[in-house]
Amino acid sequence: MTDTIPQKMVKWLFHDADSLSLGFRGWLKLLRATLVKADATFTLQFFNALKEKIAAVYQDETLTPEKKEIICYNALSYLAFAHPKEGSQINMNGATYTIHKIKLTSGWFSSPYYAYGLQSKTSSILIFQGTTVPSDRGFIAGILGDTMPGGAVGTFLYRRGKHKIQSWINSEYQRTGRPVMCTGQSLGGAMSMHCHIHQPTKVDFYVLNPPTLTSREEKIYKQHKNIFIDNSTRTLKVITHRSDPVFRMGSHYLPPGTKIFEHGMKNENSLIAHAKAPNFKNFTSETPDTFADYERKKLKTWAWKIQKACLFVGALLCQTIWLMPRFIMHAGHYIRQFPQTTKPVVKGLNDSTTQQPSEPEINFKESYTASKYIESSQLILKTIGHNATWFNKHNPDIIVLGVLGRLENPVLIPYRSNEILHVLVKKNSVVGYLNNNIYSQSIKMAILNSNPTNHDKNLAI
């Protein structure tokens, strides 16, 4: 079977293939997916290819445990670019991790930026995405996080998501009793080190080709001087290529106890050096194949700060130009959603079961037939059956019986004599049951994601 484009990319990133041979049409597809419009199938294939790589690494007896660890964290850092779905699972070194999406930015001023929390029974990993491609969500947020003046790369982005990041880390540290392992590539690596700087007792990091930090982060770290931190028992590791220009950004400050793994030769292609994992199949390096203590002295330089500020002005200008169309798109989205979020109301109905009311005023644009209700009930049952995780906090049996009961036996029985009115009352009864008993954002999205008709949407909402 021919490899897909994402499979070929993974092989190239990990040096399982000497070159990235896609052909003319393949390169067009890749460029379109990275520069024009993201491809959901493409990202899913990329995610599956990375899962296969992680599984294969731990079965490779030619690799030392340290090399397996390096390759694994490289794969995890790339995983953020695949945008795994909520609840997806990945197996790593005998443990099964469930993936949870953590939205760090709102998506109004810039496209949303997500972190990905991996939970197993005994440990947790937090993955941050590096600077991504123009077609990907989080692109503008990543650029602004890279270039915002004041502090190191990632300071602005960490500040925006600080509450959610620290809340998740605190929760996982309490659950497992172990530090959360943060990882990421480039900007994602910087975000991981920011997490350690702010919560040194609760966060370890294993990062790839990150920029270094600045005096500002050093001052924040020293605020924890009254807390004893035994760095000899911690995992504080940085992997970097000698030709990677990003690592030279910043003031060359890294947290105390950091160990660094340098690989590759100088004067290699800087873009490829920044993107690819270490080459253990044909390893060539100027130092022994192991981690060493980081001993580089902190520098005070203005060159990279000026360069960063200039890039920020350009990024902010582009974002300002795009802000008005984005505002219009969001406003239009909420306007379209407003009628769907309005609960149906049947006016003029009397709760008494002994008196026949006059024809009620109804705020629906069209009449509904009983057959449409049957279709809607089948949709609800199908949704419950195929998306059981949405209903963990409810009793599925009660949901099924309750919905069917309201469909078959509405509260206002006397209206059976008028078929149209009976159907409308039945609709109001079912919607009321959903709203009062199992109405939540989860069930709403589960049903809407099942490609329902407009009648189904009205029933669900």
How is the chain split into domains, by residue range? 60-322, 343-460
pLDDT at position 266 is: 85
Nearest to 288 by CA among 270, 259, 262, 311: 262
Q: Which residue has the higher pLDDT, 112 or 285?
A: 112
Q: How far is CA 5 from CA 16, 29, 31, 83, 243, in A?
A: 14, 9, 11, 17, 27
Helix 139-147 to helix 187-198 angle (10° resolution) is 60
The Cα–Cα gap between 202 and 225 comes to: 15
Q: What torsion, rounded to 10 degrees, do the Cα atoms 274, 275, 280, 284 define?
A: -30
| Stretch 145-172: mean pLDDT | 83
Tokens of 103: 């939205």
| Stretch 406-427: mean pLDDT | 51
pLDDT at position 311 is: 63
pLDDT at position 447 is: 44
The Cα–Cα gap between 349 and 355 comes to: 10
Min mean pLDDT across 188-197, 201-210, 276-285, 327-336 is at 327-336
The residue whose two tokens read 């960063």 is 308
DSSP H helices, 58-154, are: 65-79, 139-147
Query: Is 50 exceeded by the pLDDT of residue 277?
Result: yes
pLDDT at position 335 is: 74
Q: What is the CA radius of gyration of the chain?
A: 27
- Confirm if 405 and 413 have CB atoms less than 8 A apart: no
Q: Which residue has the higher pLDDT, 88 or 324?
A: 88
Q: What is the per-residue pLDDT across 325-356, written as a single tens digit (0 to 9) for each?
A: 656 665 666 676 665 554 444 444 444 444 44
The Cα–Cα gap between 434 and 428 comes to: 10
Query: Is 50 exceeded by the pLDDT of residue 360?
Result: no
Query: Is 50 exceeded by the pLDDT of residue 448?
Result: no
pLDDT at position 232 is: 77
pLDDT band at 126 (very low <50, low <70, confident <90, very high): very high
In degrees and rounded to multiples of 5, residue 181 shows phi and psi of -90, 115
Query: Is 90 exceeded by the pLDDT of residue 150?
Result: no
CATH for 60-322 is 3.40.50
pLDDT band at 440 (very low <50, low <70, confident <90, very high): very low
Q: What is the per-residue pLDDT across 207-230, written as a single tens digit (0 to 9) for each?
A: 999 989 988 888 999 887 667 777
Q: What is the per-residue pLDDT across 43-90, written as a single tens digit (0 to 9) for each?
A: 899 999 999 999 999 999 888 999 999 999 999 999 998 889 999 999
Query: Is 50 exceeded by the pLDDT of residue 171?
Result: yes
Average pLDDT score over the chain: 73
The Cα–Cα gap between 460 and 444 comes to: 6
Provide the pairing of β-strand 259-263 with 95-103.
unpaired
pLDDT band at 302 (very low <50, low <70, confident <90, very high): low
User: What's the farthest any 2 CA atoms get from each other in the chain?
Assistant: 93
Query: Is 50 exceeded by the pLDDT of residue 374?
Result: no
pLDDT at position 136 is: 60
